[in-house]
Structure 1
Amino acid sequence: MAPIIPHSLGGTHLPRNCFVLCAECHLTSPDCARAKYFVAFINRSSSQEHCLGTEQLFDDA
């Protein structure tokens, strides 16, 4: 489980700030205070070979 906005940057522990990622994506996910960058990362990563079978999950915010 990864925070969309890291706790160190003001993110909460609430479920709406959590996202399930594979280990590789968790290691490379961005640490930023704006959710739109995390969303863009997820949408790009869903097309990677290790994440095949997933689809674009969000509209870019």
Structure 2
Amino acid sequence: MANYCEVCGKKTATGFNVSHSHLKTKRTWKPNIQRVRVLVDGQVKRMNVCTRCLRSHKVNRDI
């Protein structure tokens, strides 16, 4: 599954785990991406959309 939102462009972020002794190891934060059916220009399309866009009604799911 793609790790980016086709609506807002949110994608995987990278950074560090930082321990108490301040040792750093690489880690990632992945967005919560759902594959949903949406109505785009009168046609039903499947899109990868983050849950933030679904919750704020940035896509039309009235199918």
Q: TM-score, normalised by structure 1?
A: 0.27
Structure showing the higher strand proportion among its residues: 2
Q: Per chain length, whose mean CA-contact separation is higher, i.e. which structure has more relative contact order (CA < 8 Å, sep 6+)?
A: 2
* Structure ID, larger Rg: 2
